[in-house]
Amino acid sequence: MLIALALAVAAAAPPMVVVDERQVMKEEPPPHGSIGMSTAYRLSDAVPNRMMEFRKRVLHAGAAIGEHVIAHDEVYYVLSGEGEVISGGERAQLKPGMAAYLYSGASVGISQRGREPLALIIAYPLPGPPSAH
């Protein structure tokens, strides 16, 4: 019974979507204040009926995603470089391999620190049904 149910669910799933970051990269000021410059990789924007946002952003020297209140849980995961994250007035230093789990309702932001650009993955759920995205 469980195998039949699993097969039925799998059959109903849409095909996967593969996105090459080189096809979606864009130089732009970071969100929430336009502090400095960044390279944005909107990896999930091309995915139909998605339930989450999955992005890569590289904050150039002195750049920051300004403080803003989030209406969902969110994760910043550092790929390279160093940064300082703020959440609810508390600050923490982040290095490669570190993640900051940020909670809905908090005022959050992240700034590039150090010599090299800060490359991070940002992931969070989208509100509402998939057809709304």
pLDDT score recorded for residue 60:
98
Which fold would CATH assign to domain 23-132?
A: Jelly Rolls (2.60.120)
Q: What is the pLDDT along the chain (133 residues), one digit of tens a residue?
A: 566 655 655 568 899 999 999 999 999 999 999 999 999 999 999 899 999 999 999 999 999 999 999 999 999 999 999 999 999 999 999 999 999 999 999 999 999 999 999 999 999 999 876 665 5
Tokens (6 digits) for 57: 């952003």
pTM: 0.86
pLDDT score recorded for residue 97:
98
Burial (0-12, 13-18, 19+ Cβ within 10 Å), 94: buried
DSSP structure string for 47-78? -TT-SEEEEEEEEPTT-EEEEEE-SS-EEEEE
pLDDT score recorded for residue 12:
83
